[in-house]
A = this chain, B = another copy of it.
């Protein structure tokens, strides 16, 4: 039996919400590593909201995925063949292996080796990987919550939001988490230690949020947009910070929403309240990565930061996994176990 590479391609650029037909699964010969490279077997694939943006044409912070190309994504992978001096078969690594069973990668380009006896491997794609680092760096470089300040984060049961809330708590802030549905809300409150947890689907959500922040909002960690931002805006304090790392509510938008045009209102608010609104991509802060690994690693080993995972079984189910993620169906970090 010949081992083949099973891979999922971008078949078409989605219009609005992606559908199954925007993806295509195929088999291809195993790629062969060149000098300095390794052949990887991908064990776990990360599913993340940013992937939706990469499926669009047009300029963003990185080039889009081409139609007909393999979907990109972070993986926990095992080295099966190595032409790199520091890696041997059996090594486990954090890679950009993509939506496929196998990949070739430059050994020097791999983010890090993973120790199977330390934290669970899957955390390298969640709380102890890109999403956790997004929370860590965004809070540290932009949000900068002081003890006693109020931090609000949405998508708070996801891996970024859950990390934001728990790190902010470790800094002594008061944390309000927002999520969709009573199960997620209970998780924030009962398992993750958020001071207040709110369901953004509630009819009186804006009033609930106002009541939950009697001293206003000092940091709004923006990863959602939409009606959560609408409710947050009037509650922002003078000198509030708004790190912007995602806008999942808008990723499927095919046109701007109807008016009125609130852009001038946002600018006026930025002026009157002296807001700092700052977008960032986690790799802007790569210099903090070693510190993140050290500090977050300690918090995880001590049980001071908790996390939940949502496993999709089988590479062939990755498209539905991403579609569902964009609808908020996941409970915690969504990963694909590649069979």
Contact = CB atoms under 8 A, between A and B. Distances in A.
Contacts of A61: 238, 271-274
Q: Chain A: interface residue count, which band?
A: 35 or more
B253 A271 contact: no
A184 B266 CA distance: 29
Given A59-B272, A264-B247, A257 B259 contact: yes
Interface string A234-266: 000010000011110110010111111111111
A271 B62 CA distance: 12
A267 B60 CA distance: 13
Contacts of A51: none
A256 B267 contact: no
Contacts of A60: 272
| Copies of chain A in the complex | 2
Interface stretch (A148-156, A172-180, A195-203, A279-287): A279-287
A283 to B, nearest CB: 11
Nearest to A277: B277
Interface string A54-80: 000001110000000000000000000
Contacts of A249: 264
Contact of A256 (B244, B264, B273): B264
Contacts of A263: 229, 261-263, 265-266
Given A259-B256, A267-B222, A278 B274 contact: yes
Given A225-B264, A250-B264, A258-B260, A275 B278 contact: yes
A244 B271 contact: yes
Given A238-B61, A275-B278, A278-B276, A270 B257 contact: no
A247 B247 CA distance: 26
Interface of A: 59-61, 222, 225-226, 229, 238, 244-247, 249-250, 253, 255-281, 284
Given A258-B260, A260-B261, A278-B278, 17 more contacts: A59-B272, A60-B272, A61-B274, A226-B264, A229-B267, A244-B267, A253-B264, A255-B260, A256-B259, A256-B260, A257-B264, A261-B262, A267-B277, A270-B277, A270-B278, A271-B279, A276-B276
